[in-house]
């Protein structure tokens, strides 16, 4: 496998091929990117090419049990390296922090609300997360959400849920679950914000690294594409997400390890909070770091190193050993 030759920036006749997963949410996000680029560069031609990833094909197994490095990205990355597509649009939370050689994160778009959201069955419309009855079945496929919610609400019952957003909501409405925990951003992007019953505060559940933002991945040497993508870059979001991704990368945790974050950018000051939790929610290591936005990656790395010394590494080692045995 070799990198496609890098075109010159001045080549305005080239059709730009955008890679996307086939899910409804992925397509909504990808066509949004296409439309934004078309507005910025009306003389250019953009087309979308779809692919199915391993994560889209395996729907009957919990994410944590099938591995997560590139679960929703590998096929798209192969397409870029083979020259079949020019860049790929990802939910940034699905993009591994270590990319294949020859590929880079070319752009981070403006973030939607990164928080987790509670969606409830009709019979629980009068409830909030903390008032759901004992034993209520809450669906989530995220170990991060599971660990934090178990810590705060040990009386609830948690059950894995897979499938696209419509599939999950159908299972909820059919009574298979009393509630679901979903990303608020995904519901908003699919015009389903009315299904959000409660935005879960950061004090209860820190969100996933990159959640709510789109990450556009491309070939490192493709100067033309990198130049085009800068039209969509949102610097405040990028600073926040670079800090979060550095934090996750330093801890060497994938998206299916209970690592949560929250970032706030006030003027030029970035505050990053991180958490590492055991699967049963009994052990938590949480800390915060503040510094200049330009040092975002350094802040993420430093916070991870500090938390590792506070016991985060021991928790992660225990989790990985448990997952290897399961």
The residues assigned a catalytic role are 94
**3-state DSSP of 286-306:** EEEEEEEHHHHHHHHHHHHHH
DSSP designation for 211: T
Residue among 56, 49, 57, 67 nearest 23 (CA): 56
The residues facing 159 across adjacent strands are: 139
Enter the tokens of residue 285: 């290591």
Asked if 288 contacts 272 with a C-beta cutoff of 8 angstroms, the reply is: yes
Enter the tokens of residue 145: 């959400």
Question: How far is it, in rounded angstroms, from Cα 152 to Cα 147?
Answer: 9
**3-state DSSP of 163-207:** CCHHHHHHHHHCCCCCEEEEEHHHHHHCCCHHHCCEECCCCCCCE
């Amino acid at each position: 496998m070799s990198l496609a030759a890098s075109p010159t920036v001045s080549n305005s006749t080239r059709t730009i091929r955008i890679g996307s997963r086939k899910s409804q949410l992925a397509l909504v996000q990808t066509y949004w990117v296409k439309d934004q680029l078309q507005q910025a560069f009306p003389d250019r031609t953009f087309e979308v090419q779809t692919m199915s990833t391993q994560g889209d094909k395996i729907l009957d197994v919990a994410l944590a049990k099938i591995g997560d490095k590139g679960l929703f990205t590998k096929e798209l990355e192969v397409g870029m390296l083979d020259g079949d597509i020019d860049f790929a649009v990802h939910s940034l939370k699905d993009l591994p922090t270590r990319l294949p050689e020859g590929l880079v994160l070319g752009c981070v778009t403006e973030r939607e609300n990164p928080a987790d959201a509670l969606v409830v069955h009709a019979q629980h419309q009068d409830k909030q997360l903390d008032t759901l009855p004992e034993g209520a079945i809450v669906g989530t496929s995220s170990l991060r959400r599971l660990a934090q919610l178990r810590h705060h609400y040990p009386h609830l019952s948690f059950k894995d849920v897979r499938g696209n957003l419509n599939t999950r909501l159908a299972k909820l409405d059919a009574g298979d679950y009393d509630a679901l925990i979903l990303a608020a951003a995904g519901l908003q992007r699919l015009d389903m914000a009315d299904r959000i019953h409660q935005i879960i505060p950061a004090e209860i559940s820190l969100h996933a690294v990159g959640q709510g933002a789109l990450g556009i991945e491309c070939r490192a040497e493709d100067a033309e594409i990198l130049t085009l993508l800068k039209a969509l870059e949102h610097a405040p979001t990028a600073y926040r997400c670079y800090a979060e991704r550095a934090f996750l990368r330093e801890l060497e945790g994938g998206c299916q390890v209970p690592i949560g974050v929250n970032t706030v950018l006030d003027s030029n000051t970035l505050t990053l909070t991180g958490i590492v939790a055991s699967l049963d929610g009994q052990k938590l290591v949480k800390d915060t770091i503040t510094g200049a936005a330009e040092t975002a990656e350094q802040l993420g790395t430093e916070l991870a190193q500090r938390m590792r010394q506070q016991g985060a590494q021991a928790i992660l080692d225990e989790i990985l050993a448990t997952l290897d045995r399961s």
